[in-house]
Amino acid sequence: MQTATSPIDTRSQAHPLAAHQVLRGVDLFTALDDKELRRLADFTRQRHCPRGETLLLENDAAGDHLFVVAEGEVSVTLDGGEGKETILALLKEGDFFGEMSLVDGSPRAATVRATETTRLISLRREDFRKALRENPDLSWTLLTELSNRLRHSNRKVSCLAHQKVAKRVASALAQLFEERGIRLRDEKGRRCVLLRHRPTQQHIAEMAGTSRETVSRLISAWERAGWLRDEGRDLFLLDEEALQALQ
């Protein structure tokens, strides 16, 4: 049975400022002031991972470290059986993982691998829990992040239920946005891509080889997920990565 390698390599004491700067850019730690961040950084360790290294394995016994991506990128995947894997997320600098097992002590929920040369910063359970006790706002930020990740997973599962047809519809929409889309910011200042005078749902259905009813259902689902916004004959793409992930 394959096992992930040890999460601990070297102490970050040689570069405490670097660790502090990384933690400052992590949404989870926005509730901490500069002094608290520096104190927390003193307890971190660093790990350098080559591309392809397995960092965590799905169903492995719970670890006792939270990991922050300082440099590089890692993938979070689920085993779909028969050698197939589903990528749940790609995490880059400032993202973190390992928090679920850290909180509930359950086995690892997913496999994490380095998709490129990566540097991680790790924090022990004891130090993380101490920070939670000392900073109630940090606990609320953690709950918010867990909720956001659960919503993302639910959307992913919903799409997988219609994987084949959803892939075709997503590819058709991606083609339209690429060929005719206009990049801009919406009224909330968010970056998006606008498709003016979009084709009818029947036309999109013909492009994707499915029914108009299916296209209508998928676009409505993606609107609820926050990926698209349909306004008459104008269609806004609010999350390019989500649409690309379906192709």
CATH of the domain at 74: 2.60.120.10
pLDDT in tens, 154-173: 655 554 445 578 888 898 89
Under the banding of pLDDT at 50, 70 and 90, the label for residue 5 is very low
pLDDT at 123 exceeding the cut of 80 = yes
- Radius of gyration (C-alpha) of the chain in whole angstroms: 21
The answer as to whether 1 is a domain residue is no
Q: What percent of the chain has pLDDT over 70?
A: 83
- The parent domain of residue 203 ranges over 163-245
The answer as to whether 28 is a domain residue is yes
Note whether 152 and 167 are same-domain residues. no
Note whether 203 and 93 are same-domain residues. no
Under the banding of pLDDT at 50, 70 and 90, the label for residue 2 is very low
SS3 of residue 24 by DSSP = helix
Note whether 208 and 120 are same-domain residues. no
pLDDT at 10 exceeding the cut of 60 = no
Note whether 22 and 121 are same-domain residues. yes
pLDDT in tens, 162-213: 557 888 889 889 888 988 888 888 777 778 899 888 878 877 886 676 788 9
Give this prediction's pTM: 0.56
Note whether 124 and 49 are same-domain residues. yes
From the CB of residue 162, how many other CB atoms can be counted at a distance below 10 Å? 16
pLDDT at 1 exceeding the cut of 50 = no
**Domain termination residue (choose one: 131, 157, 183):** 157
Q: CA 115 from chain center: how many Å?
A: 14
Note whether 101 and 22 are same-domain residues. yes
b (16+ CB within 10 A) / e for 54-79 = ebbbeebebbbbbbbbbbbbbbbbbe
Q: Which of 125, 18, 14, 10 is nearest to 71 (CA)?
A: 18
The answer as to whether 5 is a domain residue is no
**Angle of CA points 101, 102, 103, to nearest 5°:** 90
From the CB of residue 80, how many other CB atoms can be counted at a distance below 10 Å? 10
**Domain termination residue (choose one: 138, 157, 176):** 157
**Domain termination residue (choose one: 105, 137, 157):** 157
Note whether 72 and 176 are same-domain residues. no
CATH of the domain at 176: 1.10.10.10
Half-sphere exposure of 198 (CA within 13 A, CB side): 29
Q: How many domains is the chain partitioned into structurally?
A: 2
